[in-house]
Amino acid sequence: MSDASSRSPTPTADEALHTTLDMPFEDAVPFVQIEHELADFETVRVTRLDQMIAGMLGHDDVERTALIVVCHPEIAHDALQIDPTLAGMLPCTTTVYERAADDRVHVHHVSATKAIRDLGCAPADSDEAVEDLVAKTGELMAVVWANIEEHGQK
């Protein structure tokens, strides 16, 4: 069994986006979803993990957690041009969650395209195209994140 605490974070995890919002959880989920949509990400699904776990497993000890699953058409197109199997790594997911230790709503995003790069999911001869994909995703998410941070505070 591996000891995760002894490993350094991968670039994907180390470069993840994280912020906190000063608003109720019930308002934060649609707010974060809309900020993605305003940047032309299409919402694939919004799922409440805590409700799913409670409903299917009967556990009521999971703090409120929502997955906002989105896909940007340019990112999807470019990923498919590199290799159709990369579709399995899409779409992007942003998590909105609470922690009992504080009174903030947390928003966290790990880049799917950085995961494609760091996990070596693309063909070996596509490094430049993957880096372009990572850069484009970063530019799009930078806009989303700036708006979340700007408009998500009182």
Closest by CA to 145, choosing from 92, 89, 87, 81, is: 92
CB-based contact 129:152 (threshold 8 Å): no
The rounded distance, in Å, linking the Cα atoms of 136 and 45 is 22
Strand, helix or coil at 114?
helix
Give start and end residues of each alpha helix (H) in 15-84. 25-38, 49-57, 73-82
pTM of this prediction exceeds 0.85: yes
Mean of the per-residue pLDDT values of the chain: 92
Contact between residue 32 and residue 68 where contact means Cβ atoms under 8 Å apart: yes
Q: Give mean pLDDT, residues 48-67.
A: 96
Domains and CATH numbers, the chain: 11-151 (3.30.310.70)
Taking only the tens place, the pLDDT of each residue in 22-38 is 999 999 999 999 999 99
Of the pLDDT bands very low, low, confident and very high (cuts 50, 70, 90), residue 12 is confident
